[in-house]
Structure 1
Amino acid sequence: MILRPIALFAALGAMAALVPSSASAQTSCGPREQLVKLLADQYKEDPVGMGLAQPGQVLEVFASSSGSWTMVITLPDGKACMIAAGDNWEMVTKIKGNPV
């Protein structure tokens, strides 16, 4: 659904006013605490996976039981940026000895 990412970008744009950042990143970045709260409150998304991207950067995937998902990158200064969002999230687990 195309409206979900647009609404999320708009909400993040409002949050961006609180964090000094480059002009190109203002519409999709903000304090991590506020982004996590927005994803939980508005989309019922919780963290389902995380990993290190580059030194000091954490990549997280948030997903809901209804299938919506959001990818977020958090920088060492605590600023988080939404980098992707969508629907139909499915958890895939690897069983030892069997390829996914």
Structure 2
Amino acid sequence: MGEHPRFWVSFGIMLLAFAFFTAMSVYMVTAAHAQQQAQCPIYQDLKKALLENANELPSGSGITAKGNAAVIVFASPGGATWTIAIIGADGRACPVASGENWLDVIPPKAPVPGERPA
């Protein structure tokens, strides 16, 4: 070990740098996970909060093409406010958009064969 002291100093610095970056990576992943949990509560908790704070109720939903998530629209009566959330397979609901003046659109009826349009 005494033959190459510069090697061991460099090696020690590299080990310290590796330990530092490993610790920072773990911290960042943990912080991101904690932030996601705060922003993406369990669906029932989001549903309760939107009802209590904005008087919003579920008013529409659909399953994504891949089938791994659901999209749900919450709206207040009369559409004064609305929130759209994505619910993952883990049951967490992440709000992705919100706004005012929601308008429910009623899709047109499918034509009945042999019936004349009005």
- Given candidates 106, 111, 114, the residue that maps to 1:93 is 106
For the aligned residues, what is the CA RMSD? 2.3
Q: What secondary structure does 1:78 align onto?
A: coil
Report the Cα distance in structure 1 between the residues aligned to 2:86 and 2:71, rounded to whole angstroms.
5
The ranges of structure 1 where at least 4 consecutive aligned residues each deviate by more than 3 angstroms after the TM superposition are none
Percent of paired sites with the same residue: 34
- Given candidates 50, 67, 70, the residue that maps to 1:58 is 70
2:46 aligns with: 35
TM-score, normalised via structure 2 length: 0.59
1:70 matched to 2:80: no
Report the Cα distance in structure 2 between the residues aligned to 1:21 and 1:50, rounded to whole angstroms.
28
2:36 aligns with: 25
Structure with greater proportional strand content: 1
Aligned length, in residue pairs: 79
Report the Cα distance in structure 2 between the residues aligned to 1:21 and 1:32, rounded to whole angstroms.
19
Supply the AA of the counterpart residue of 2:90.
D
1:35-94 CA deviation, whole Å, 9 max, x = no partner?
Answer: 000001111101110001232201000000252000011111111100000001011111
State which structure, 1 or 2, has the greater radius of gyration over its C-alpha atoms.
2
Report the Cα distance in structure 1 between the residues aligned to 2:32 and 2:52, rounded to whole angstroms.
25
**Structure showing greater relative contact order (alpha-carbon pairs closer than 8 Å, 6 or more residues apart):** 1
